Amino acid sequence: MESADATEVCHLADPAATDALGGRLASQLLAAGDGDGALLLLRGELGAGKTSLVQGLAAALGIAEPVTSPTFALAQHYDTDTGSDAGTTALVHLDLYRLEPGAAADELFAQEEEDARGLGAVLAVEWPERLSFRPEGAWEVALSHAEDGEGRLARITPPGFTPPPAVPPAPR
């Protein structure tokens, strides 16, 4: 793991490591959210591990149901299954890939962000580059295939720091 400013880069050897990173991020997001929810932007080409990371995040939030990419549904709400918060929405998973950049993506994001904040849930957004702006207060994880072909790299940027320029996503 290396660090430049507040950006952390780590190697993810396999899907289990990606899930574990999602679990670690869950505790950081909850701590930073102050009960008002938290925002996580997920960047990366097709197959980079965005949904796998959300699956690890969901498990750490106490969500037992299967988490899949909401590419066609656009948004999925997941309730926690454990503890005193059982039945409360803990995660909103949003996928903006199918939306044209700009107004449509911005409108759906605004709606889901308002819902997530009102519920105190984590909002995980895949393909945030479809938005016409970068949301304030967002954590960002950029996932990419490792250059040596072994696993993935994750670049984690906490709120308040500008992430390095993203590589344009590959067509789906």
- Tell me which of 68 and 114 has the higher pLDDT: 114
Q: What is the pTM of this model?
A: 0.85
* pLDDT tens digits along 60-85: 999 988 898 877 789 999 988 766 56
Separation CA 65–CA 20 (nearest Å): 17
**Secondary structure E strands in 22-109:** 38-43, 75-79, 89-95
pLDDT at 169 over 70: no
Q: What is the Cα–Cα distance from 142 to 48, expressed in whole angstroms?
A: 9
How much is the pLDDT for 86? 62
CB-based burial, 65-74: b 16+ in 10 Å, e otherwise: eebebbeeeb
Which among 164, 162, 144 is positioned nearest to 154, based on CA atoms?
144
Among residues 45, 144, 57, 146, the alpha carbon closest in space to that of 93 is found at 57
What does each C-alpha distance from 94 to 5, 70, 101, 149 come to in angstroms? 28, 6, 14, 28
Mean pLDDT of the chain: 85
Q: What's the pLDDT tens digit per position in 115-154?
A: 999 888 999 999 999 999 999 999 999 999 888 878 899 9
Specify whether the CB–CB gap between 59 and 94 falls below 8 A: no
Q: What is the pairing mode between strands 7-12 and 138-145?
A: unpaired
* CA distance linking residue 111 with residue 118, whole number of Å: 11
Structural contact between residues 40 and 141, judged by C-beta atoms closer than 8 angstroms:
yes
Higher pLDDT, 94 or 84: 94
